[in-house]
Amino acid sequence: MVRVGVTGGTGFIGGGLLPALAAAGHTPLVVDDRTGPVWVAHPEWPALVAPCESDRGLRHLADADVILHLGAVSGVMACAKDPPASYRVNVEGTRRLVAMCRERRIPIAFASSLAVVGSPDRLPVTEETPARPTHEYARQKAEAEQVVRGPGAEGVMPTAVLRMSNVYGSYSVGDRTVSKGNVLTLFLEQARAGRLRVNAPGTQRRDFIHFEDVVAHWTAVVGWLASRVNHPETRTFNVASGENFSVAELAEEVRRLWGERHATAAPLEIEVVPNPRGGIELIDPKFQVSRKRTEIDLDVHCEHGVEGFLRDALARDGNA
């Protein structure tokens, strides 16, 4: 049984992670500043509404055995819109939180992103692939990674960096369904209108991981950190499935599965449209992620796939 501090614990991932931590026998201590787009309230684990790096936030987390740091200004466009403000949260806030963890020897895991690798020299991306950020969001995540790794590399307390790929899926809290917008859910919405819009050029390739598999990784890392209290080190994990698609391939998959369920309807149209993130988004048609070391260290295997998710979503839509 571990007291687990969770920053950003009422966001999309945090809100679904808390029940899993409790089910594993842990006690969540939640801090969230409530500035994110998703707010998931659990009466069983009330959140302190404050920045995690504030004096109140740090006091709330000071008695944790392990801290999972998910709180952030998240997303490419949000960081590009106001870099100084997002930097204060994503880097300076992380620095202050890690300083408290260092002082109290509290192991910490940090929610990073595979965006930090930019356009790597070698593929697939592994846990050892160095950060080469190409936009503000990735630069902030990469700098915060270094802050978190420091105490682990120095043998003060164990630390971990979790580089997450594109998360999809949803979960229920009471009678509410909680989901996060991404290209999969967008295509499902567009399918109802008969036309899928693919951001140019369409060859940009991404790894996709189901929300439940993400939760499994975060739950497992609690045990990994706790098991290394007497032998501190730092480790990077790829929270990715290894299943990747280009945006155009995803559109074709949605069109195919939609056609199976609506055999008498006209096929979905696919239109290539200007990319609103064209000046920021990297286009790498060969992008691929390896998770071999992550599977060995955390003993976690991905149980969900994109095709199954799309089939289930279309079946629910057809039965509505």
pLDDT of residue 317: 78
- Residue-wise pLDDT for 242-288, tens only, equals 999 999 999 999 999 999 999 988 899 999 999 887 766 666 778 99
Classify residue 69: in a domain, yes or no.
yes
Which residue stretches of the chain have pLDDT < 70?
279-283, 318-320
b or e along 288-318 (b: 16 or more beta carbons within 10 Å of the residue's beta carbon)? ebbbeebbebbebebebebeebbeebbeeee
Q: Are residues 34 and 177 in the same domain?
A: no
pLDDT of residue 275: 87
Q: Are residues 87 and 214 in the same domain?
A: yes
Q: Are residues 93 and 160 in the same domain?
A: yes
Q: Are residues 10 and 151 in the same domain?
A: yes
Classify residue 32: in a domain, yes or no.
yes
**Phi, psi dihedral angles at 161 (to 5 degrees):** -115, 125
Classify residue 295: in a domain, yes or no.
no
Q: Are residues 223 and 145 in the same domain?
A: yes
Q: Are residues 149 and 271 in the same domain?
A: no
Classify residue 9: in a domain, yes or no.
yes
List Cβ neighbours of 59 (8 Å cut-off, separation of 6 or more).
none
Classify residue 246: in a domain, yes or no.
yes
Q: How many domains does the chain have?
A: 2
Cα–Cα distance measured from residue 117 to residue 187, given in angstroms and rounded to the nearest whole number:
26
Cα–Cα distance measured from residue 54 to residue 34, given in angstroms and rounded to the nearest whole number:
14
pLDDT of residue 99: 98
Residue 184 structural domain:
168-207+242-288+304-319
Alpha helices in the chain (DSSP H): 12-23, 55-61, 76-81, 83-87, 94-104, 136-153, 183-193, 211-227, 247-261, 292-298, 306-319
Classify residue 136: in a domain, yes or no.
yes
Q: Are residues 203 and 215 in the same domain?
A: no
Q: Are residues 178 and 270 in the same domain?
A: yes
pLDDT of residue 87: 98
- Assign residue 8 the CATH number of its domain: 3.40.50.720
Q: Are residues 112 and 156 in the same domain?
A: yes
Q: Are residues 93 and 156 in the same domain?
A: yes
pLDDT of residue 91: 98
List Cβ neighbours of 134 (8 Å cut-off, separation of 6 or more).
118, 119, 282
Q: Are residues 130 and 192 in the same domain?
A: no
- Assign residue 196 the CATH number of its domain: 3.90.25.10
Classify residue 298: in a domain, yes or no.
no
Question: Does pTM top 0.85 for this prediction?
Answer: yes
Q: What is the largest CA-CA distance in the chain?
A: 66
The gap between the terminal CA atoms of the chain, to the nearest Å, is 41
Q: Are residues 252 and 224 in the same domain?
A: no
Classify residue 10: in a domain, yes or no.
yes
